[in-house]
Structure 1
Amino acid sequence: MTDAAAPLAPPRKKGIPPVILGLGLALALGGAGFYATFSGLVSTDSVMPASSATPGGTLPPGAFAYVPIDPITINLGLRGQSRHLRFSAQLETAPLEAAEVTRLMPRILDVLNIYLRALEVHELEEPAALIRLRAQMLRRIQIVTGPDRVNDLLITEFVFN
């Protein structure tokens, strides 16, 4: 037999496969970004909202005030079961917004009472319950107080027995 009867294989391309090239490029760009941030070439400071500006300039980046929320005790469960939730927290605000947030505290307490009373016992027993509840309560508080007034909800007591 001759070689003409054997099927011809296409010649193999030489070069770097696109997947390896893409991976190498991604690693190089990630390393360059890390270096630029770590060495200070790129600033990671966040911009403060306009509501925190003072007539003489702006507040330092770490300036904030805490507004305490009165402790709340809620009876959970059915009549035969005596289960209670004791909750207290503080709201992180800009110093200039603390007085306004304090003025709105009755509305904040109302929203928290309604939300916490609507919870079921099994919802509080889940491992990730506190993280989810904190996010839900913070969102409700931010709706009551208005945009950019409350930065965070810091839970200081969450006792469920």
Structure 2
Amino acid sequence: MAEDIEEHEEDTPTGRKKGLLIGLVLAVVLGGGGFYAAFSGLLPIGASATHAPAPSHNADEVAFVALDPLVISLGPDRGNRHLKFAAQLEVEPHATASVSHLKPRVLDVLNSYLRAVSINELEDPSSLIRLRAQMLRRIQIVTGEGQVRDLLVTEFVLN
């Protein structure tokens, strides 16, 4: 009986060492695989996800409409913080006049949207891409399809 207990005690540390070694090897392999997937762009995270290729446009086919800078009060419940936002719209050359005419509506849509965004989203640098896409979609609804190509954010400062 005493011999069985001594044999059992000797087997347990060896089993623990094997389990620890297998766990360590799996952690290294899975960590390396995750790093490779993120680094190679298989997963939409990290630096590779934020660098989208720039669209190639001929300089003659591009026009810009500058939007007036917005200073948006984030309210007393958010510590009386402010967001300073400035942007330009990349528009079709034939649509410059009509988009310029709709600038007050565009500024109203942007002001309403940015006022509704949570402070956590505004503070997160990676959320600017998502915010820009949301703002562009709202601008395209106001101006009509085929008028505005892109929204170029020139200033985004949270005080």
TM-score w.r.t. the length of structure 1 is 0.60
Spell out the pairing of 1:51-130 with structure 2 (5 A cutoff): 61-62=58-59, 63-79=61-77, 81-130=79-128
Change over 3 Å in CA distance of 1:71–1:80 after alignment to 2: closer
* Structure 1: 4+ residue segments shifted above 3 A: none
Give the secondary-structure state (helix, strand or coil) at the position aligned to 1:140. helix
Deviates more, 1:139-148 or 1:73-82: 73-82
The answer to whether the 8 A contact 1:77-1:121 is kept is no
How far off is 1:81 after superposition? 1.3
How many residue pairs get matched?
103
Give the structure 2 partner of residue 141 of structure 1.
Answer: 139
Give the structure 1 partner of residue 11 of structure 2.
Answer: none
Query: Which ranges in structure 1 are unaligned for 5 or more consecutive residues?
Result: 1-45, 47-59
How far off is 1:77 after superposition? 4.2
Residues 24-74 of structure 1, C-alpha deviations (whole Å, 9 max, x = no match): xxxxxxxxxxxxxxxxxxxxxx9xxxxxxxxxxxxx944111000000001
Structure with more of its chain in strand, by fraction: 1
The answer to whether the 8 A contact 1:90-1:155 is kept is yes
How far off is 1:83 after superposition? 0.8
Query: Which ranges in structure 2 are unaligned for 5 or more consecutive residues?
Result: 1-55
Q: Percent identity?
A: 59
Structure with more of its chain in helix, by fraction: 2
Give the secondary-structure state (helix, strand or coil) at the position aligned to 1:147. coil
